[in-house]
Structure 1
Amino acid sequence: MGVLENKARARTFYKYLSKVYDRVNTFVWTEEMRAEALEMLDVDADDRVLDVGCGTGFGTEGLLQHTDNVYGLDQSPHQLEKAWAKFGKHDPVQFHFGDAERLPFKDGSFDAVWSSGSIEYWPNPVEGLREMRRVVKPGGTVLVVGPDYPESTVFQKLADAIMLFYDAEEADRMFHEAGFEDVEHVVQQAKPGSPKAIVSVARAPERSEGAD
């Protein structure tokens, strides 16, 4: 487990990163990459969407271009303060302080669930994915953006020591263990030489006949 795959250390890390996050983020995760991912999520105007690990609201901002029914959740009060400054605490986004591995929402609460730049800090990513499957409606879409595993052996060792990096094969394993069936992956990169992101899109299983 990487040093930042610990909730307390991650909160401390984001306490300081929140001050410069929006400037640093654009070098790794651009508006163009976000737009491509949003096309994969395919949100309708009346969809209710949850942004897990919303941070300062970069992904949230993109979601608001497609629907007005956006909910944001993050475990970092410092990141949420930045998001509140942009959007307000309750309108147009309903923000919640909470844990990705214990989402404070009822089963089937959302038409779609989005998470960008968050899974790499979860101590138990499969549990977080299970929670996302729980709160999305049967047949609903879940999209997760995380850091693609480096090709260099040196960077692989460094990545493993810091937080979760993973490739499509590992993403398949995590999503299937969490109960998803159909999973697709796209690798994105802001420019040659910059860190790569892996976008995974999965559909929650339809409720079987006779299920409660």
Structure 2
Amino acid sequence: MGVLENKARARLFYKYLSKVYDEINPFIWNEEMRTEALDLFGIEAGDVVLDVGCGTGFATEGLLERTEHVHGLDQSIHQLEKAWAKFGKNEQVKFYRGDAERLPFADDTFDALWSSGSIEYWPNPVAALEEFRRVVEPGGAVLVVGPNYPHSTVFQKLADAIMLFYDEAEADRMFEEAGYEEFEHHLQGPSYNPEIAITTVAKVPEAKAEEPLAADD
């Protein structure tokens, strides 16, 4: 497990990163990539969407171009303060401080869920993906963007020491273990590294009818 796959360390990390996050982010996750991912996400006007790991609100801003009903959640108070400055605490977006692995929402609350640049910090990604499936209504979309596993052995060792990086096979395992049956992966990135990110779009399984109780003999 990488050094930043620890919630306390991640919060401390973002305490300082939040000061320059909006300046650094475009070199890794830019507007063109966001638009491409939003097109894959396929939400419609009127959909109620949760942005998990919303940070300073870069993805939130894109989501607001597609629907007015956006909720944002992050564990870092420092990142949220930047987001509040952009959107207000409960004006354009309703924000919550919370944990991706223990979402403070009832079952089937949202039409869709987006999470970009957050999975790499989760100690238990499968638990978070299960939570996503729980709070999104059956048939809704879940989109997760994370860092693609590097090809270089040197960078692999560095990546493993810092946070979660994963390839398509590992993404398959995580989503299948979390109970998703339909999903697809897309590689994205800026021009200098077009495969830096792995974007997965999954469909929450339709609710299954309960099996009838066996009749007494």
Contact map agreement 1:28 1:194 (CA 8 A) in 2: no
Distance in 1, matches of 2:28 and 2:195, equals 6
1:57-206 pair list within 5 angstroms: 57-193=57-193, 196-206=196-206
Equivalent residue letter for 1:185: H
Contact map agreement 2:187 2:194 (CA 8 A) in 1: no
Larger radius of gyration: 2
Shift of 1:53: 0.4
Distance in 2, matches of 1:209 and 1:160, equals 42
Shift of 1:210: 3.1
* Cα pair distance change 1:116/1:75, threshold 3 Å: same
Shift of 1:128: 0.5
Shift of 1:37: 0.3
User: Gapped runs of 5+ residues in structure 1?
Assistant: none
Distance in 1, matches of 2:91 and 2:176, equals 35
Contact map agreement 1:114 1:143 (CA 8 A) in 2: yes
Q: Aligned residue for 2:214?
A: none
Distance in 2, matches of 1:22 and 1:175, equals 30
Contact map agreement 2:56 2:81 (CA 8 A) in 1: yes
Q: How many aligned residue pairs are there?
A: 211
1:7-86 pair list within 5 angstroms: 7-86=7-86
Contact map agreement 1:125 1:174 (CA 8 A) in 2: yes
The CA deviation string for residues 79-106 of structure 1, in whole angstroms up to 9 with x for no partner, is: 0000000000001100000000000000
Distance in 1, matches of 2:127 and 2:179, equals 10
Secondary structure, in 3 states, of the residue corresponding to 1:14?
helix
Q: Aligned residue for 1:3?
A: 3
Contact map agreement 1:28 1:195 (CA 8 A) in 2: no
* Cα pair distance change 1:207/1:32, threshold 3 Å: same
Equivalent residue letter for 1:113: L
TM-score between both structures, scaled by the size of structure 1: 0.98
Identity %: 69
Shift of 1:189: 1.3
Equivalent residue letter for 1:136: V
Secondary structure, in 3 states, of the residue corresponding to 1:144?
strand
User: Gapped runs of 5+ residues in structure 2?
Assistant: 212-217
The 4+ residue runs of structure 1 with deviation greater than 3 A are: none
TM-score between both structures, scaled by the size of structure 2: 0.95
Shift of 1:194: 7.0
